[in-house]
Amino acid sequence: MAHTFEDLVNLERLAEEAHAAYIDSPGDDTRAAWLAAADTFQAAVVEHAAAEGKSRYEVEMAAKKAVRHPETEAA
């Protein structure tokens, strides 16, 4: 199933939330959740980039920018 850019943004948001949970409460469970979320995001990025004929790096950076700096997207 091809992922939309919105899917990528949501997956990156989940990975960021899982990372924050790990930072707040380091442990094997929170680390595993963070790594699983990051892996899911990366796999979706690769799939989306291939389907769209775009650079994986550019797709990844665009999704991360949308999550981490949403105010620049609206400008």
Q: What's the whole-number mean pLDDT along residues 15-34?
A: 98
- What lies within 8 Å, CB to CB, of 58 at 6+ separation is 49
Residue 74 pLDDT > 60: no
68-74 long-range contacts (CB < 8 A, ≥24 apart) are 68/16
C-alpha 16/C-alpha 67 separation (Å) is 9
- What lies within 8 Å, CB to CB, of 6 at 6+ separation is none
Tell me whether residue 13 is exposed, middle or buried, using C-beta atoms within 10 angstroms of its C-beta: 0 to 12, 13 to 18, 19 or more: middle
Q: How many percent of the chain have pLDDT more than 90?
A: 88
